[in-house]
Structure 1
């Protein structure tokens, strides 16, 4: 049987089971890529997603396809990785698309937008809806092809030096918040600050900012935010299921053989699942430890949530009137979100709510 036909019919798993992998690997050229991350090495979960991806690519090619992983700031600034991939300075990057909303707000839809999809719904939209098709069409304008390569799950709402009690407390609040959600914070009277993860602690400690969000208990504990801000607010209504991507220079990807392209896709999918599994497993114990260190868990007051929801819907309507990229993709995203929430309301949410109420 012709090799490519065999691969198409059996898939990677079938190839490995049949013992055909060595012949395929040996036929490929040695390749060396560099991956620029937007994250610091200290965060073994989110930075580690890039390492897991690179390791799997190496393992599945018998070491013939090697990707070196570089922390944010090592090769280029954490928020400069899209330019790096677009220009071919590096072959790929591991990042969160909403960091680049300043180029076009549409980037944010590829990661997370306020009151958007949760992590499972996001994966469903990407792979079974039109998400991957639509976002790749958009990223093509930047010479990029993307692969989902991680999700943190729903995030916490961040660390505050003073407790939020009313909507008025948002006025003038200097809040480190990633990406597109800053637009909504502005509508509430806050002052968004878009700082890389490695710079947040110092700014919070010195009072340069009043509040900061990152991910959740496991990462936030590592970064030490509990030492300088006592109030830990939830939920992160702007990050119900933020997707992390591997962005690949289109020319570099197209130069790969079909077998290597399949390896890249499979490795990214593995890293995607691995990242959320790690967060889900590690967050509970970290939260217990934070509470033991006198962290005060506080929900966002409902008036703030309601005001944020209204502001978000207003911004989405305005963008749909002015940005053709946003209008096209958000319309599909919003329809998918509506149907997903209908389904989750009847089963997933009711089950989860009950299980949390009985406190096993």
Structure 2
């Protein structure tokens, strides 16, 4: 996909289109049309495509009783105002990442990714079966919305850097795009951290506003064109070990739906969580091959000094959240910590051992 084709579409729509989009949702003969605003550029691999597919599946499964109309980043509201659009009633749904809204509650970051925290499979175990959804609901109840896991990128790439990292000294003053609790870790390591939407990152790298940036991984990063301005690509991310996206729905409007439509939204989100995971598993390796063999990208691992310092910073941040003055943030951190202690036993005691054995002994 040509990077310019979807970056261009990520810009703000004209006033006329915006005014039309803000019209009251259509309700005719019991059918409804809901607006979904997203943080992703139009036709964006994995994430934007996943949001559109989720909308299409809801529309098809309800036989048009609930039609979802998707507005990509900037078409109705700026990408990082998507949640606010649902809260204020400008849209019925938003598709993004919960850690984008950590200014509303630090607890929300736990439902996207935690530095040195859960893998994506561990995260969905916590949310679905170990009390995570219930505490997430408590946080979002404050804003009149309901959140569902809607996509899974797996463990992400660590980011693109203009200069090779030799140790902690390389990070001091580094202007780095990275969000959430991971951004707080990088700040503790000495970076100057900012967050920005996908469609804004390339220009900031190109202009020199940023020295480094991470977004997701090869599948997305190839499309965004980061390789054109930075060649050092670090793996893996230690701050985003299993990123999840979310669908947020107006809670009052969701509860007004018949029970079967509520179930369709919930179940389609769960199906899409798995579909997006498969999409990234299939296409990240192909994209990385292209980046290396066609664009001369250098694939590197973070120096051990940085990984160790990152782990210490992550532990310090989590301990602070466990002592948070905000009861729901504290409750979320406690729930996460308790669940991680359980789910990591299988990941480290079974899955990791198998991966190590396969790597050593099995080739086709």
Matched position secondary structure for 1:69: strand
Give the distance between the partners of 2:214 and 2:60, measured in 1 at CA: 35
Runs of 5+ consecutive residues of structure 2 not aligned to the other structure: 1-28
Q: TM-score, normalised by structure 2?
A: 0.89
Give the distance between the partners of 2:255 and 2:87, measured in 1 at CA: 14
User: Which structure 2 residues correspond to residues 1-360 of structure 1 after superposition, within 5 A?
Assistant: 29-292=30-293, 293-322=295-324, 323-358=326-361, 360=364
Matched position secondary structure for 1:226: helix
User: What is the CA-CA distance between 1:42 and the residue it aligns to?
Assistant: 4.0
Give the distance between the partners of 2:136 and 2:62, measured in 1 at CA: 28
Q: TM-score, normalised by structure 1?
A: 0.90
Give the distance between the partners of 1:235 and 1:56, measured in 2 at CA: 32
Q: Say which is worse superposed, 178-187 or 130-139, in terms of deviation.
A: 178-187
Runs of 5+ consecutive residues of structure 1 not aligned to the other structure: 1-27
Matched position secondary structure for 2:173: coil
Q: Is the 8 A contact 2:45 2:223 kept in 1?
A: no
Give the distance between the partners of 1:321 and 1:57, measured in 2 at CA: 40
User: What is the CA-CA distance between 1:46 and the residue it aligns to?
Assistant: 0.3
- Structure-1 residue corresponding to 2:4: none
User: What is the CA-CA distance between 1:70 and the residue it aligns to?
Assistant: 0.6
Q: Deviations over 1:232-275 (max 9, x none)?
A: 00111111111111000111101101111111112111211111
Matched position secondary structure for 1:93: strand
Give the distance between the partners of 1:63 and 1:34, measured in 2 at CA: 14
Q: Is the 8 A contact 2:113 2:243 kept in 1?
A: yes
| Residue correspondences, number | 333
Q: Deviations over 1:139-192 (max 9, x none)?
A: 111111111110100000010000011111110000011223211111111000
Matched position secondary structure for 2:142: helix
Q: Is the 8 A contact 1:161 1:231 kept in 2?
A: yes
Q: Is the 8 A contact 1:150 1:273 kept in 2?
A: yes
Give the distance between the partners of 2:228 and 2:131, measured in 1 at CA: 43
Q: Is the 8 A contact 1:99 1:180 kept in 2?
A: no
Q: Deviations over 1:90-124 (max 9, x none)?
A: 10100100011122211101111111100111111
Matched position secondary structure for 1:327: helix
User: What is the CA-CA distance between 1:133 and the residue it aligns to?
Assistant: 1.0
Give the distance between the partners of 2:306 and 2:240, measured in 1 at CA: 16
Give the distance between the partners of 1:134 and 1:162, measured in 2 at CA: 41
